[in-house]
Amino acid sequence: MSEPRLRAKELDAADRLAAKRTEFVLDADGGESGGDAVYLDGNSLGALPVTVPGRVEDVVRRQWGELRIRSWTESGWWTAPERIGDRIAPLVGAAAGQIVVGDSTSVNVFKAVVGAVRLARLTGGAAGPARDEIVVDATTFPTDGYIAESAARMTGCALRPVPPSEVPGALGDRTAAVLLNHVDYRTGRLHDLPALTAAVHAAGAYVVWDLCHSAGALPVGLDEHGVDLAVGCTYKYLNGGPGSPAYLYVRAELQDRFDSPLPGWNSHAEPFGMRPEYAPAPGALRGRVGTPDILSLLALEAALDVWDDGVTVEAVRAKSLALTDFFLECVETYVPEGRVECVTPRAHRERGSQIALRCRDAGDVMRRLIERGVVGDFRHPDVLRFGFTPLYVGFADTERAARVLAEVLAEVPAEVPAEAGADGEA
């Protein structure tokens, strides 16, 4: 047995989170390599927690099938958005009463960015600066950029794309809102949330953080660092299921001034009053819009049970860093030098919970990996992404993924055209 395989066995034996793996549905791959499938795509869609199917069946058969309309009160449907928000809150470093769950990430980004612009203009007053600029992470996931551009047009702001490292120098007295990603979806780079939040506040602006690739994988510290607004999906490291509802965080001190651009009857102070005039509900409820998606919400609630037995984000983060360190060591051991290039930062303070490798024919390489039971994903034009979810990924998985990667690369021509990768983003 090779040294990396022996080391993986030792690391798995010492892993305090190893038992969590049994709480997820992880089937054998049936592929050419044999053994269990190695699922390294939790940064796109988390694995299914074993408790979810039974809980969803109860929601469908009993709560909906038998209780029907009574379930809005008797089964707690009506309060689910804020109840589940309070369960997510500790995972992102927030106190209760600041997160509401519902709608998609895109819808919540829109609410947060427009709300941030309105807060900036309300704070500035007539005598203050115009606050007519929105700064957006230039490397952001495309949808965030689309939403920011639309929000800029609707609020009469200019949109300014800026790389996160250059944001402090780009801020000024015209900046209203800044939309940033905590972890870059393509490279896995972790941005400095405390420092960037402080820089935005020093400029008199409001910050919106997208936590899609960090919530459930690493400490965030929303309250500790004074973040204004934040959004995130729940189907990656929170394992809520495909298309599970996203969440919106509004800092408690801002809630009475948060003016959502999407007021709905669910966020009305008297939702059943059916009044023609809108009056916003107090607290995080202002982030609600329409009728909640109960089936997805309650599937997410069941998925969050995996955190209920004392698992901490800090423990998850420690294992995440150990897994990604070990993966890079195994890649360096198994893969000939020059065949791949790591575009994820090596420094722990700059790394999320994924490793991104650039290589030639990345799409074909990932297809071959999946055929052999190692599931990651590919980002155009030349990036292989491997997401490490510490609750169900082990060190043997990690070693096998690197070993199979080396086998696949041995089948792919090594020559790289001079122009390869020149037009691709990291």
Q: What is the 3-state secondary structure (H, E, C) of 3-66?
A: HHHHHHHHHHHHCCCHHHHHHEECCECCCCCCCECEECECCCCCCEECCHHHHHHHHHHHHHHH
Map tokens 């948060």 to a residue.
258
User: Which residues is 209 bridged to in the sheet?
Assistant: 180, 230
Cα–Cα dist 13/11, whole Å: 5
If one counts every other C-beta atom within 10 angstroms of the C-beta of residue 413, the result is 8
Tell me which residues are annotated as active site.
141, 210, 235-236, 385
User: Could you give the CA distance from residue 84 to residue 286 in angstroms, rounded to a whole number?
Assistant: 15
- The CA-CA-CA angle for residues 277, 280, 281, to 5°, reads 130
User: To 10 degrees, the CA torsion angle through 195, 196, 197, 203?
Assistant: 110
Q: Name the 3-class secondary structure at 400.
A: helix
423: how many CB neighbours lie within 10 A of its CB? 8
* CA 142/CA 135 separation, integer angstroms: 15
d(CA 190, CA 344): 9
Pairing of strands 158-162, 133-137: parallel
